[in-house]
Amino acid sequence: MGRLLLLSNGHGEDLSGALLGRALQTEGHVVEALPLVGKGQPYRDAGIGLIGGTQEFSTGGLGYTSLRGRLTELAQGQVIYLLRRLIRLLRIAKRYDLVVVIGDVIPVMAAWLSRRPVATYLVAYSSHYEGRLRLPWPCSDCLRSPRFKAIFSRDQLSADDLSIQLQRHVNFLGNPFMDPVLSDAQRLPPAHRRLGLLPGSRRPELEQNLLLLLRVIDQLPEAWRDNGELQLELALVSSLQDVELSALVAQGQWHLEAGSDNKPSALRRGGCRIWIRRGNFGAVLHSSDLLLCMAGTAAEQAVGLARPVLQLVGQGPQFTEGFAEAQRRLLGPTVFCAPGEAGDPVTLARTAQMVLDLVERIHQDADLKSVCDREAVNRLGPAGGGGRMAASISRLLTLPR
């Protein structure tokens, strides 16, 4: 068995890395992680040791998406922080039999510089964006290097495309981030119609997104919103605690109702109640007819569960108009979005109308269900991706060097 280092650069990448890391531990390996961006909380949650202290920045590693974001990262010292992480990698690389990259060009380059054998899961790239994947320089050159022993893609189209471009075999074995939701047996109590609200996980963007989602709910007809015609579920991360949540939603005249032994807490305004689901994320995905979404990985998981997604564009830094448009290309025809400016009342009203139209269509249009089922497999793959990837990586360690 080997000593492995996981190298990732983003919240979604950390989540995939932690799931892959647990699968590798099951194979008997010693696994540690070096997240290049953020605190690496998914690794902590999985019991995987972190190398060095970690730090979180307000851009969430997405500063590259705008000039303002880049300047913010410079001002907050994220570039210096990244360079320090890379220097640490070069100092400790010899401890490990294999470096496992989860992410994009930055960890790919870092792994190449480490001069160690590498396995790469290119979770951040897909040929679905443009039909042909254009890897940024010098990613292609690194991936062609003999140091890179295996390359895994996030979908079959990308595997086929990159196998031709790189002139080496690229595997698609599924996506580890789908494993927990595909295997999650939790379900919410039956409801006539159910809408799941996904504001994302990054703060402070999470707070901005939640206020926008509440404004959409305000636009729904009272008969749907207040009389139980449409049950509303909010999948919320634990980092936004009740005291902060209560103060936040008060801006829109909502108030927080405390939960009890037999019911969760809820947001309440008049006759409308939104149930708060912390720790029941998979149950919200499985049990909802439609997901109103301002998130990255969560939207991918919803599509992987054959659920239609309705986007609501926000102010970012992640869930901007450009990000949402790219996400629709990545995830395909079961992801919808109302036209218009982010936060504009007309856009919010259009989104509310699309909620009503899609929830009705889901119950009446068998073709939509078939498309959702097909795209789930095409875009995300079957369950067990983490285990298959871990087994493939284990086989690398038995090969002669």
* The 3-state secondary structure of 260-282, one letter per residue: ECCECCEEEECCEEEEEECCCHH
DSSP state of 230: S
The two three-digit tokens of residue 134, written as one number? 């254009």
Specify if 151 maps to a domain.
yes
Predicted TM-score (pTM) of the model is 0.88
Q: Are 213 and 161 found together in one domain?
A: no
What is the domain extent for residue 16?
A: 3-174+384-396
Specify if 298 maps to a domain.
yes
Q: Are 210 and 104 found together in one domain?
A: no
The two three-digit tokens of residue 273, written as one number? 């109640």
Q: Are 248 and 373 found together in one domain?
A: yes
Specify if 157 maps to a domain.
yes
The answer to whether the CB of 244 falls within 8 A of the CB of 148 is no
Listing DSSP states for 163-226 in one string gives HHHHTS--B----GGGHHHHH----PPP-SSEEEEE--S-TTHHHHHHHHHHHHHHHS-HHHHT
- CB-count burial class (<10 Å; 0-12, 13-18, 19+) for 223: exposed
Domain harbouring 329, CATH code: 3.40.50.2000
Specify if 401 maps to a domain.
no
Q: Are 257 and 138 found together in one domain?
A: no
Q: How many domains does the chain have?
A: 2
Nearest to 15 by CA among 180, 153, 199: 180
Q: Are 164 and 230 found together in one domain?
A: no
Residue 5, beta-bridge partner list: 32, 99
Specify if 132 maps to a domain.
yes
Which residues, 6 or more positions from 234, have their beta carbon under 8 angstroms from its beta carbon?
197, 199, 210, 213, 267, 274, 275, 276, 277
- The radius of gyration of the chain from alpha carbons, rounded to an integer in Å, stands at 21
Amino acid 383 reads: A
Which residues, 6 or more positions from 123, have their beta carbon under 8 angstroms from its beta carbon?
12, 13, 16, 102, 103, 154, 175, 177
Per-residue pLDDT, 400: 67
Specify if 19 maps to a domain.
yes
In the block, residue with structure tokens 């992680």: 33
Q: Are 316 and 392 found together in one domain?
A: no
CA distances from residue 396 to 59, 78, 126, 197, 357 in whole angstroms, order as listed: 36, 34, 24, 41, 50
Q: Are 168 and 234 found together in one domain?
A: no
Q: Are 119 and 254 found together in one domain?
A: no
The answer to whether the CB of 238 falls within 8 A of the CB of 203 is no
Specify if 106 maps to a domain.
yes
Q: Are 187 and 169 found together in one domain?
A: no
Q: Are 341 and 369 found together in one domain?
A: yes
Q: Are 38 and 116 found together in one domain?
A: yes
Specify if 20 maps to a domain.
yes
The two three-digit tokens of residue 46, written as one number? 């999985």
The answer to whether the CB of 268 falls within 8 A of the CB of 234 is no
Other beta carbons within 10 Å of 115: 12
**What is the residue-level pLDDT of the chain in tens, covering all 401 positions?**
899 999 999 888 999 999 999 999 999 999 999 999 878 889 999 999 999 876 565 545 444 444 444 444 444 456 788 889 999 999 999 999 999 999 999 999 999 999 999 999 999 999 999 999 999 999 999 999 999 999 999 999 999 999 999 999 999 999 999 999 988 888 999 999 999 999 998 888 999 999 999 999 999 999 898 887 899 999 998 888 999 999 999 999 999 998 877 788 999 999 999 999 998 899 999 999 999 999 998 999 999 999 999 999 999 888 999 999 999 999 999 999 999 999 999 999 999 999 999 999 998 999 999 999 999 999 999 889 999 999 999 999 987 66
Q: Are 262 and 365 found together in one domain?
A: yes
The two three-digit tokens of residue 287, written as one number? 């049990």
Amino acid 206 reads: L
